């Protein structure tokens, strides 16, 4: 997988780059947001490792920028900010995962691996969650073998949940997926579509994570 | 202060009133005496010609004559007519038959019970003595004094009530100021805005606000510092740890690799201790107090997710909801970060010191109680109270910094939550339980 590492600390950045390379990933290392934008313009990445305090700005604003451009590349935030409020801000800005410094390189490998697995799962022909079978490429979904009909917006919500099965997807991120339709969105649109999906897929398939977002049951 | 003001004001009012009444009585007595004396003299002078006239028209008698009075009323004035030898020739019906104990000389004289005015006629052979009963004068005096004193009995309670009312009214802004100051604590350092404060109290308001401002700035600086030092300390440790782990991965098995592992272990310990000290610094800067409510469940879910993702703890933490609706917000007036630190420490302790195979349960009750229970050995009662002290550990050979519960205790106090430690856990024979009752 091709990884964009955005980190201004040479010691950490060097170790992370070497470690990810040793795990057979291709790593591009940007030491500022300007460099990162330059890299992202010319290459497509499977994952972004993002530090939050960078010399030319905040990683959060870079992340928001990405999400507002409907860029759904998975992002793992690497930061020294460990407070709950920072975490909530990170998740609401569209981060897929959050790793607090100092972290264990083994743990970082595990998180990258998890994202990579999801990444490959998305391209996998078939995903099974309990009694639900989903074939994303063909927009086919069935429950106990019975085919289900989903509207385009319900697919959009399901897609955003599928990007991180088993992990929290923030409400803001699901909202972004709905905004992509360009139509006006009611303030409770996410709740409405999630509850419709629950009716079709079964209530246990999507768990509510209070105050933050939703989580799709792991396959 | 209200009571003292009332006491002093009422006391001095009564004192001045009594003084004024006393002075009035003194003046009144002088005046009364003058009036009584002049009427006594007048009566005597007027009566004299009548008496002389009367005497000369009668025969002289041995017995003194008594003049019948027109009415049966008591006489205010009595009189005697005496000759030069002092023998009583005539007396009014209430007067004593014995001669008055007064010299036969023109002018005033006093006896024990009477004031007497004497006039003479017929070249000093007939004397008329008119007596005024002193008892009567005293009675008039007493009545006059009483009428002066009577209002006091009525006015004292009246003035107390009005003083109480006005004191209360004028102290009202002071009470408002007191309540405003009383409402300020670690969580509320907002400047005070008391309406209608009198000019005398405004300097206090201004001074307190200035003090609050300085305190707020100082606390903010401290929080800022704690948060900045977190970043500044974590980054180099993260770098050293990551580089060491790379070194371990690149070194062939052998003594160098074991040495690198020892460095890694030290760095991990350093990182953990730094973490705790930073949490303590945060707690000391008073982050616990908060005026805005947060959804407690969101914080719990985030912290629980963290632990469940750690490979060594995965699946051990069990969340139990007791009477909580899945979708209703569970809001409590606490700081999200402080609650996060508390939960992390309690869960970490349970996982670290509890039975390695036993589950750790976090029960969230609708009344705002979070109960964390784990299986494991019992902590003896005397040690239980020591656990919240800094660097105190139940078992000094066990891992841990000895700061976790001290941090929890401090933050819980700041947020107005109650922390209770119990061992064995309730409903069990072993284990440990920590109960945190969140403020509403």
Q: Walk me through the domains of chain A, giving residue ranges and CATH numbers.
A: 2-119 (3.40.50.2300), 127-216 (1.10.10.10)
Measure in Å the smallest separation between the Cα of B181 and chain A Cα atoms: 30
What local confidence, expressed as pLDDT, does residue B59 receive?
58
Average pLDDT, chain A: 86
Q: Give which of B238, B298, B338 to mutate to test A binding, by max A Cβ within 10 Å.
A: B238
Residue-wise pLDDT tens digits, B153-200: 787 788 778 888 888 888 888 888 888 888 877 667 788 877 777 888
On the question of pLDDT at A38 being above 80, the answer is: yes
Alpha carbons within 13 angstroms on the beta-carbon side of residue B262 total 6
Nearest to A97 by CA among B318, B302, B315: B302
Give the span between the Cα atoms of B349 and B421, in whole angstroms: 12
Nearest to B66 by CA among B104, B95, B98: B95
Residue-wise pLDDT tens digits, B221-238: 887 887 788 778 889 999
SS (H, E, C) A28-87: EEECCHHHHHHHHHHCCCCEEEEECEECCEEHHHHHHHHHHCCCCCCEEEEECCCCHHHH
What pairs with residue A129 in β-bridges?
Answer: A132
On the question of pLDDT at B396 being above 60, the answer is: no
Measure in Å the smallest separation between the Cα of A19 and chain B Cα atoms: 7
Alpha carbons within 13 angstroms on the beta-carbon side of residue B85 total 3
Select, from the ranges A78-82, A214-218, B401-405, the one with the highest average predicted confidence (pLDDT). Answer: A78-82
Longest distance between any two alpha carbons in chain B, whole Å? 166
- Type and span of the H or E element at B351: helix B336-353
* Region for B286 from its dihedrals, namely left if φ exceeds 0, alpha if ψ lies in -120 to 50, beta otherwise: left
Residue B337 at interface with chain A, using a CB cutoff of 8 Å: yes
The dihedral of CA B393, B395, B397, B399: what is its sign? negative
Nearest to A94 by CA among A177, A198, A206, A181: A177
- Is the peptide bond between B46 and the residue preceding it cis, with omega within 30 degrees of 0? no
Residue-wise pLDDT tens digits, B189-223: 788 877 777 888 888 888 888 988 998 888 888 87
Mean pLDDT of B350-374: 86
On the question of pLDDT at B117 being above 80, the answer is: yes
Residues of B in contact with A192 (CB under 8 A): none
What pairs with residue A29 in β-bridges?
Answer: A5
Pick the range with the lowest mean pLDDT from A118-122, A155-159, B15-19, B379-383: A118-122
Q: In whole angstroms, how far apart are CA A201 and each of A56, A129, A165, B43, B245?
A: 45, 10, 15, 127, 44
B130 CB contacts (<8 Å, ≥6 apart)? Answer: B40, B43, B44, B47, B77, B78, B79, B116, B117
Mean pLDDT of B54-67: 64
> Is the CB of residue B167 less than 8 Å from the CB of residue B5?
yes
Measure in Å the smallest separation between the Cα of A100 and chain B Cα atoms: 9
What pairs with residue B91 in β-bridges?
Answer: B66, B80
Banded pLDDT at B71 (limits 50, 70, 90): low
Residue-wise pLDDT tens digits, A93-136: 888 888 999 999 998 998 888 887 776 666 566 788 888 888 87
Banded pLDDT at B319 (limits 50, 70, 90): confident
On the question of pLDDT at A37 being above 60, the answer is: yes
pLDDT above 70 coverage of chain B, percent? 92
């Amino acid at each position: 997988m091709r990884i964009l590492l955005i980190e201004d600390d040479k010691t950490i950045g060097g170790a992370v780059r070497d470690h990810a390379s040793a795990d057979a990933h291709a790593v591009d290392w940007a030491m500022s947001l300007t460099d990162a934008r330059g890299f992202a313009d010319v290459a497509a990445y499977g994952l972004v490792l993002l530090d939050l305090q960078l010399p030319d700005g905040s990683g959060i604003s870079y992340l928001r920028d990405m999400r507002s451009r409907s860029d759904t590349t998975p992002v793992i935030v690497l930061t020294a900010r460990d407070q709950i409020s920072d975490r909530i801000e990170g998740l609401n800005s569209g981060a897929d995962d959050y790793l607090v410094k100092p972290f264990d390189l083994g743990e970082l490998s595990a998180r990258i691996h998890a994202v990579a697995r999801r990444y490959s799962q998305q391209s996998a022909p078939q995903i099974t969650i309990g009694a639900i079978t989903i074939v994303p490429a063909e927009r086919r979904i069935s429950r106990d073998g019975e085919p289900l009909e989903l509207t385009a917006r319900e697919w959009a919500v399901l897609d955003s949940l599928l990007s991180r099965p088993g992990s929290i997807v923030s409400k803001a991120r699901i909202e972004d997926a709905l905004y992509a339709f360009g139509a006006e969105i009611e303030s409770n649109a996410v709740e409405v579509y999630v509850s419709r999906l629950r009716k079709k897929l079964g209530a246990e398939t999507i768990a509510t994570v209070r105050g933050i977002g939703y989580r799709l049951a792991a396959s | 202060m209200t009571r003292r003001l009332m006491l002093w004001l009422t006391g001095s009012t009564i004192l001045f009133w009594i003084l004024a009444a006393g002075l009035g009585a003194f003046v009144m007595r002088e005046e009364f005496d003058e009036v009584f004396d002049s009427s006594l003299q007048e009566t005597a002078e007027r009566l004299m010609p009548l008496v002389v006239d009367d005497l000369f028209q009668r025969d002289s008698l041995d017995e003194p004559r008594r003049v019948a009075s027109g009415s049966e009323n008591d006489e205010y004035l009595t009189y005697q007519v005496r000759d030069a030898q002092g023998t009583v020739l005539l007396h009014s019906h209430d007067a004593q038959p014995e001669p008055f104990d007064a010299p036969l000389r023109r002018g005033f004289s006093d006896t024990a019970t009477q004031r007497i005015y004497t006039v003479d006629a017929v070249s000093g052979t007939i004397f008329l003595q008119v007596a005024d009963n002193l008892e009567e004068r005293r009675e008039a005096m007493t009545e006059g004094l009483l009428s002066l004193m009577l209002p006091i009995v009525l006015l004292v309670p009246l003035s107390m009530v009005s003083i109480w009312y006005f004191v209360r009214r004028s102290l009202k802004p002071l009470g408002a100021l007191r309540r405003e100051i009383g409402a300020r604590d670690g969580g509320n350092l907002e400047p005070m805005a008391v309406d209608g404060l009198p000019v005398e109290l405004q300097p206090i308001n201004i001074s307190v606000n200035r003090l609050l401002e300085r305190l707020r700035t100082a606390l903010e600086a401290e929080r800022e510092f704690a948060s900045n030092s977190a970043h500044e300390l974590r980054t180099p440790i993260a770098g050293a740890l990551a580089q060491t782990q790379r070194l371990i991965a690149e070194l062939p098995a052998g003594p160098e690799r074991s040495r690198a592992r020892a460095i890694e272990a030290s760095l991990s310990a350093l990182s953990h201790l730094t973490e705790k000290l930073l949490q303590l610094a945060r707690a000391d800067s008073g982050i616990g107090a908060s005026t805005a409510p947060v959804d407690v469940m969101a914080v719990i879910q985030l912290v629980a997710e963290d632990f469940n993702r750690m490979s060594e703890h995965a699946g051990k933490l069990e969340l139990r909801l007791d009477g909580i609706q899945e979708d209703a917000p569970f809001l409590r007036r606490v700081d999200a970060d402080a609650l996060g630190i508390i939960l992390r420490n309690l869960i970490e302790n349970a996982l670290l010191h509890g039975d390695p195979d036993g589950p750790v349960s976090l029960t969230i009750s609708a009344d705002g109680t979070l109960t964390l229970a784990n299986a494991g050995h019992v902590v003896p009662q005397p040690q239980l109270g020591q656990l919240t002290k800094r660097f105190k550990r139940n078992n000094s050979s066990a891992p841990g910094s000895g700061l976790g519960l001290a941090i929890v205790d401090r933050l819980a106090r700041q947020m107005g939550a109650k922390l209770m430690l119990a061992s064995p856990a309730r409903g069990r024979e072993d284990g440990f339980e920590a109960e945190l009752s969140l403020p509403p």
